[in-house]
Amino acid sequence: MSMVAQVEPIFPRMVELRRIFHQYPELAFEEKRTAAVIMEELQRLDIAFEYGGVGGGVVAQITGKEEGPTVALRADMDALPGEEMTGLPFASSNKGKMHACGHDGHMAMLLGAAALLKENPPPGKVRLIFQPAEERGAGAKVMIKAGALKGVKAIFGGHVMRQFKVGEFMVAHGLITAHSDKFTIRVQGRGGHGARPHEAVDAIVVTGLLIMAIQTLISREINPFHPSVVTIGQVQAGSAPNVIAEGALLQGTIRTTEPAVRNHILHGLKRMAKATGELHNAMVDIEITEGYPPVINTDREAEIARQAALKVVGEKGLIPIEYPSMGSEDFSFYLREAPGCYVRIGACREGWKNIPLHSPAFDFDEEALRMGAAFFDQVAREAIAEYAKEP
């Protein structure tokens, strides 16, 4: 029986679970109902688990009849803020929340793999990590602190992608996602009447100049061969058409793939903020908040994942990585503690256009659930067999 064919008996249940998760999305650290559905399914499968309560995650373990190494598989539970525009019959019932990033699919895949692993346990232990707050709040750190990686030889995770078709996997060594940082800039000028600008320091003018200056950090100071992004996504200033704004707020994100480039951009932002303030007699303060580190797959685990994907989809289904994603992922925190590999799982139906992650219209082909469950089942078996060779 092929790796995918063995999923057939449990496929309807995975679809059912995915639709339940999708219809009742919950935001980061609020995944109460989501966790309850997961625990109910684990109980049905007779798999032992522990729950960290609301704000925590669910950690289950499947133990084989023989002693052996422990490997971990991870799925994220949280949804995103936003109004769903998919038109699906099981669209979000929770106003202002939706599964726009495929986490509903990730949970269903891992529960499908759990069913396969429980039916025929490998000679070792498989830790199943259902994690809160991937989108914001670094829920991975919560799970690590709770001991989810204790005794684990390696961890594997993945993400559905509409850039790839169902039956395609991207498995790669090294850098997969970028380092993310957030910045907040506060401009303090001196308010006044719009008809008497000489009596004021216009925070909006200072902000405009600062926005344009920041754009030159990437275009004129960073080697084009080092992918980097600085985006200002939020600007707040002003109260009335005839009032010179006293203050302004800018918020943005920094994405980098090289530590030296990251340091240059961070210092450059501080330099430009200070210089712009001095140039225009305003107070400009900048606060930088470190985000998620880069996801860097370890070589041995990437090869284990590649072998698992080969058995699921064959050589034609393996898609090479062209360049790292400038997105970020808190799976990176697990990789600071243990070796591991993060893969991309094709989820686009033939004839569909690519709708990006986080779009209010995002959906994926549920046939991808078969592939994801088969992969997670197989990668756990491959990893346990590989580590069992060690003395």
The binding site for Mn(2+) comprises 101, 103, 135, 159, 358
Bridge-partner residues for 297, per DSSP? Answer: 174
**Known binding site: residues?**
101, 103, 135, 159, 358
Q: Which residues, 6+ apart, have CB-to-CB distance to 254 below 8 Å? A: 180, 181, 182, 183, 228, 229, 230, 262, 265, 266, 269, 288
